[in-house]
C-alpha cells in the first residue's frame, strides 16, 4: 500500500455488513488533499455497488475527524471549477449512497470536513468535538453541500450565522441545533457507533434505502409528490422477501433476518 493509498483506510466486516472508512492523515488533522478526494470517490462508488455493504461508518484517525480541504500547498494547477466538480461528485456519492451512513466524530470537523459529516445520515460526536463552517476565515464560500444542508438542518437564520461568522462551536451546541445526533463520552464512542452501525446493517436494506431516499428527495417537494413517492416505494417493499418476513416475525414474536431479496416469482419460475 502506497502512502497515498494509506490516507484512506477501509475495513469491511463481512459478518455484519458494516464498512468503515477512516481518513488517515493525522499529521494534517485528516485534511483532504487531491489524492484523498480521489480515494474517497473510489471507495464510496465501490460501496454503492457492493451488495454486501449494509451500513457505512466514516471517521478520522489520530483524534480528529477532518480539518476540511488541505490548502497547505496553495491553489493547485488546473481550472478551479474542474477541481470543484470532482469534490462535488464525492458529496453526491455520499448523499445518494443507498445504505445508512454514520459519521463518527472526535476532535475537529471544520469546513468541508464538517459538511462531510453532515452528509452522513447520523452524526455521533464526543463532548470534546468542535465544529466550524470555517470557509469565511479563508475568504471562501460554503462548499461540499453546506449551502444545501445547513438551511435544511438548522433553518436559514442559523445557517447564515454559522456561515458568515465561521464560529467554532462545541458538540452540545451542535446537537441542540440538530447538527449532531448523539454526544457520547470519548471512551464510549467506538462501542456506541459499532452497536449503532450493526443495528442499521441488520435492518431491511431495500426499505431503509427507500426511506432514506424519500426523506432526501421529498424535502423540496409538495405533499402530493411525497405521497406518490411513498406509494411507489411501499409497493417495491411488498415485492421483497423482507416484508413478509417482518410480518411473520411480528406474529411469532421473533427477530426477522433481512436480505433485501426480490420476492416476486419471475416468468422463468413458472
Calpha distance 227→150 (Å, rounded): 25
Question: Which option is the CATH number for 205-262: 1.10.20.60, 3.30.450.40, 3.40.228.10, 1.10.12.10?
Answer: 1.10.12.10
Confidence label for 80 from pLDDT (cuts 50, 70 and 90): confident
Q: What is the pLDDT of residues 131-186, one digit of tens each?
A: 999 999 989 999 999 999 999 999 999 999 999 999 999 999 999 999 999 999 99
Rounded CA separation 7/40 (Å): 10
Q: Return the H-helix or E-strand segment holding 11.
A: strand 8-13
The tens digit of pLDDT for each residue in 89-122 reads 999 999 999 999 999 999 999 999 999 999 999 9
Q: Distance between CA atoms of 151 and 222, rounded to whole angstroms?
A: 18
Q: Where are the domains of the chain?
A: 5-201, 205-262
The CATH superfamily of 5-201 is 2-enoyl-CoA Hydratase; Chain A, domain 1 (3.90.226.10)
pTM of the model: 0.91
What's the CA gap between 12 and 197, in Å, rounded? 12
CA dist., res. 118 & res. 254, Å (int): 35
pLDDT cut 70: percent of the chain above it: 94
In angstroms and rounded to an integer, the radius of gyration of the C-alpha atoms of the chain is: 20
Amino acid at each position: 500500500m502506497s502512502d497515498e493509498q494509506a490516507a484512506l483506510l477501509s475495513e469491511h466486516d463481512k459478518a455484519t455488513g458494516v464498512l468503515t472508512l477512516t481518513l488517515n492523515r493525522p499529521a494534517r488533522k485528516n485534511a483532504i488533499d487531491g489524492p484523498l478526494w480521489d480515494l474517497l470517490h473510489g471507495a464510496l462508488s465501490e460501496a454503492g455497488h457492493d451488495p454486501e455493504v449494509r451500513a457505512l461508518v466514516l471517521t478520522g484517525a489520530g483524534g480528529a475527524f477532518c480539518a476540511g480541504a488541505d490548502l497547505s500547498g496553495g491553489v493547485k494547477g488546473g481550472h478551479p471549477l474542474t477541481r470543484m466538480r470532482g469534490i462535488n461528485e464525492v458529496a453526491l456519492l455520499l448523499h445518494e449512497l443507498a445504505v445508512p451512513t454514520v459519521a463518527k466524530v472526535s476532535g475537529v470537523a471544520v469546513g468541508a470536513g464538517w459538511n462531510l459529516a453532515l452528509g452522513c445520515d447520523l452524526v455521533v460526536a464526543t463532548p470534546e468535538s468542535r465544529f466550524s463552517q470555517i470557509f469565511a476565515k479563508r475568504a471562501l464560500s460554503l462548499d461540499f453541500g453546506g449551502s444545501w444542508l445547513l438551511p435544511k438542518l438548522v433553518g436559514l437564520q442559523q445557517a447564515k450565522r454559522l456561515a458568515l461568522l465561521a464560529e467554532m462551536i462545541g458538540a452540545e451546541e451542535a446537537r441542540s441545533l440538530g447538527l449532531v445526533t448523539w454526544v457520547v463520552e470519548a471512551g464510549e464512542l467506538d462501542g456506541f457507533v459499532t452497536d449503532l452501525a450493526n443495528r442499521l446493517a441488520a435492518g431491511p436494506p431495500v426499505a431503509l434505502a427507500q426511506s432514506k431516499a424519500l426523506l432526501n428527495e421529498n424535502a423540496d417537494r409538495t405533499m402530493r409528490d411525497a405521497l406518490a413517492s411513498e406509494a411507489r416505494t411501499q409497493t417495491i417493499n411488498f415485492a421483497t422477501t423482507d416484508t413478509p418476513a417482518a410480518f411473520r416475525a411480528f406474529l411469532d414474536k421473533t427477530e426477522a433476518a433481512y436480505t433485501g431479496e426480490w420476492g416476486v416469482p419471475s416468468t422463468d419460475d413458472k
